């Protein structure tokens, strides 16, 4: 399946738009859209890393429990 890269529209309150405009003033972002895309991509990437880390930690916890059981502590 080919990922859809067509942009979609997301409505935001005017107050948020004003805050975003102020935030990007003086940056390399040329629009609220490019800034918002950057922020969302960053959040998703961090969430994916966090999920991977949690999975690894769960596996590690399971391994630790198995090891403690083998040693007679559980």
| Domain residue ranges in the chain | 30-74
**Separation of alpha carbons 43 and 40, rounded Å:** 5
Measure Cα distances from 31 to 5, 13, 17, 34, 38 in Å. 19, 16, 11, 5, 11
> Hey, how many other C-beta atoms are within 10 angstroms of the C-beta on 61?
10
**Separation of alpha carbons 40 and 64, rounded Å:** 36
Q: What is the pLDDT of residue 5?
A: 83
> Hey, how many other C-beta atoms are within 10 angstroms of the C-beta on 40?
11
17-29 pLDDT, tens digit each = 999 999 999 999 9
Indicate the SS3 state at residue 12.
Answer: coil
The mean pLDDT values, 10 residues at a time, for the chain of 74 residues are: 79 96 95 94 89 66 77 70
């Amino acid at each position: 399946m080919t990922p859809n890269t067509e942009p979609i529209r997301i409505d935001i309150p005017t107050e948020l738009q004003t805050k975003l405009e102020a935030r990007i003033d003086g940056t390399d972002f040329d629009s609220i859209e490019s800034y918002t895309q950057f922020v969302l991509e960053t959040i998703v990437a961090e969430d994916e890393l966090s999920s991977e880390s949690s999975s690894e930690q769960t596996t590690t916890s399971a391994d630790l429990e198995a090891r403690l059981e083998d040693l007679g502590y559980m």
